[in-house]
Amino acid sequence: MNTKRDPSVLHAAITLLGLAVWIPFAIFKLKAGLHGILLLGIVWVVLSSLPLRATLPQVRAAMRDGMDRAMPAMFIFLTIGVVIATFILSGTVGTLIYYGLKFMHPAIFLPAGLILCSVMSLAVGTSWGTVGTGGVVLIGIGAAMGMPLPLVAGMVVSGASFGDKMSPVSDTTNLSALSAETDLYAHIRSMAYTTIPSYLITLALFSWLGMRFADSTLPQQELDILMAGLDSTFTINIWMLLPLVVLLVLSIKGVIAEAGMLVASLVAAALAVLVQDYNLSEVITSFYDGAKLETGNDKLNALLNRGGITEMAWTFTLSFIAISLGAIMEHMGFLKVMMDWLLSQVKRAASVVTCAITGTFAGNLLLGESYVSIVLSGQMFKEKFDEVGVDRKVLSRSIEEGGTLMTALIPWTTTGAFYTATLGVATLEYAQWSFLNWINPLIGILFAWLGIALFRTIRQPGTPIAEPSQAT
């Protein structure tokens, strides 16, 4: 009976190089669609797997396993579409945009929005929930003020990523600590050394840009027209924020994301019927089709006619293909074989940290899913960190910097695709403004080479360590 073999280093290198050349060539030179690009990537990896005696049923099983792991995230895609549609019809989004235009000065919009997204994501532990609620509102306010939308989206992503990375209730924070087998709070304290300087630089950059773009905002007369359009379309008052409050409270109390979003959507749907005078049929239909409003103002129509399951279809199908590609890569061992070889060549502590950050980033690029690359990086690098005498809380920090932060900048990852669908801005357009997501990994690498916050351990390789925190 034939059994699957592991690839050689040369075989793995050729397979990975093929993808590394094909994907950017097809995106930037051919300007082809991502779905087709990744589908051909699957064909390439499957063909490359045949010499390993891999069978097509094994390939199918690998894809199925990948989808099983990703189903919670896939369901959140659809749920966020419902949240956006119902929050628009309930007047929640309109109320937040109205008050934002009324009280927020354009000069402080970017730094204030960054802090708002940071606090929100830190509290609820999810960047997706933050982008799907606060991010949508801030995009609306920024568009009404005349701000460049890629800049606003980059600010939203930076703030949401900060909270998702540093929150003790974030799934990626807990997963990184568990994967590196280190204590959760030691992991968070370790991240603070590189994340806080990065955040302060990011805040300074957005403050400077806010002052620079303040003069290019829309005149007050046009802002007044937009506010009047919102006021005539919705009942605007503080009670319309109830769905958002419900969502935040349920998230803080640890209710799983899907359930919290559905409950908040039902509250929003009730407000849409009882207060905003939409009929029940319209609200239920919006779950799938999204909000369909006619405000009499084209700019408002563009801001508010969105949401629904259909708006998430592009993201959902792209993620399906990307996760399938990543699952095959993982199952066939291409990435692991290559990383094991690279680690065998690395001896210095700073080089190992650099490899952990860039290796997790490469995992995101090739696997399309940060959860998988975080787990694999923890498994691949922990013994190497022991060998060079660096504490594993530096490993967990490095995994977050290369995984949690960088996944938002890759168009075909689940996170990058989700942000694009939710914010309406292409990943490669907002990526250049997502300062925290770039700066933090670079500072992590710089600090490693300077010996700053490069915590050492005297524990010998193979010695058991304390059980990691199970906090969630």
The stretch 293-317 carries a mean pLDDT of 82
Question: Beta-carbon neighbour count of residue 220 at 10 Å?
Answer: 8
pLDDT at residue number 123:
65
pLDDT band at 285 (very low <50, low <70, confident <90, very high): very high
Check whether 472 has a pLDDT greater than 60.
Answer: no
Q: Which residues pair with 456 in a beta bridge?
A: 390
For range 23-43, the mean pLDDT: 89
Rounded Cα gap, residues 339 and 128, in angstroms: 30
For residues 335 and 306, give the distance between their C-alpha atoms in angstroms, rounded to a whole number.
39
End-to-end Cα distance, the chain:
45
Alpha-helical (H) ranges within 234-347 are: 242-252, 257-274, 280-289, 298-304, 313-332, 334-344
- 458 pLDDT exceeds 70? no
Collapsed DSSP state (helix, strand, coil) of residue 390: strand
Run of H or E including 295: none
What is the Cα–Cα distance from 113 to 409, expressed in whole angstroms? 19
- Please determine, for residue 332, whether its predicted confidence score (pLDDT) is greater than 60: yes
How many Cα atoms within 13 Å fall on the side-chain side of residue 12?
21
Q: What is the pLDDT of residues 53-87, one digit of tens each?
A: 888 899 999 889 888 877 777 787 788 889 889 99
pLDDT of residue 169: 67
Over 80: is that where the pLDDT of 466 sits? no
The reported pTM is 0.78
Whether the predicted pLDDT of 469 surpasses 80: no
Sequence spans of domains, the chain: 70-312
Query: For residue 154, what are its two tokens?
Result: 């980059």
Instruction: Please state, in angstroms and rounded to a whole number, the distance separating the CA atoms of residues 53 and 59.
Output: 11
pLDDT band at 397 (very low <50, low <70, confident <90, very high): very high
Range with the poorest average pLDDT among 89-98, 142-151, 301-310: 301-310
Pairwise CA distance, residues 63 & 319, whole Å:
12
How does DSSP assign 98-159, residue by residue? HHHHHH--HHHHHHHHHHHHHHHHHHH--HHHHIIIIIHHHHHHHHHHT--HHHHHHHHHHH
Nearest to 45 by CA among 69, 66, 30, 28: 66
Pairwise CA distance, residues 266 & 274, whole Å: 12
Decide: 296 and 229 in contact? Cβ < 8 Å.
yes
Share of the chain above pLDDT 70, in %: 94
* CA distance linking residue 175 with residue 49, whole number of Å: 29
Residue 279: what pLDDT?
93
Q: What percent of the chain has pLDDT over 90?
A: 40
Residue 329 vs residues 108, 366, 399: alpha-carbon distances, Å: 45, 8, 19
pLDDT of residue 460 exceeding 70, the answer is: no
pLDDT tier, 471 (very low <50, low <70, confident <90, very high otherwise): very low
Predicted confidence (pLDDT) per residue in 201-229, tens digit: 999 999 999 888 766 666 677 778 888 88
Q: Are 366 and 335 in contact (CB under 8 A)?
A: yes
Q: What is the pLDDT of residues 401-446, one digit of tens each?
A: 999 999 999 998 889 988 998 899 999 999 999 999 999 999 999 9
Quick check: helix, strand or coil at residue 248?
helix
Q: Is 456 helix (H, G, I), strand (E, B) or coil?
A: strand
Picking from 467, 408, 399, the residue whose alpha carbon sits closest to that of residue 437 is 408
pLDDT value at residue 370 = 81
User: How would residue 470 be classed by pLDDT, with cut points 50, 70 and 90?
Assistant: very low
CA distance 221 to 377: 54
For 154, 344, 426, the CA distances from 150, given in Å and listed in that order, are 6, 41, 8
Asked if 117 and 164 touch (Cβ cutoff 8 Å), the reply is no
Q: What is the DSSP string of 188-216?
A: HHHHHHHHHHHHHHHHHHHHHHHHHHGGG
Confidence of residue 98 (pLDDT cuts 50, 70, 90): confident
Q: What's the pLDDT score for residue 182? A: 87
CA distance 345 to 338: 11
CA distance 449 to 229: 55
Q: What is the mean pLDDT of the chain?
A: 86
* pLDDT tens column, 160-217: 999 889 987 677 888 888 888 888 889 999 999 999 999 999 999 999 998 887 666 6
Q: How many CA atoms lie within 13 A of 120 on its CB side?
A: 25
- Residue 26, pLDDT > 80, answer yes
279 vs 96, more confident: 279
pLDDT over 60 at 7, yes or no: yes
Higher pLDDT, 282 or 226: 282
**Which whole number is the average pLDDT over 303-332?**
84
Q: What is the pLDDT of residue 196?
A: 96
Each residue's pLDDT tens digit, 349-388: 999 999 999 989 988 888 777 877 887 788 788 888 998 9
More confident residue, 196 or 297: 196
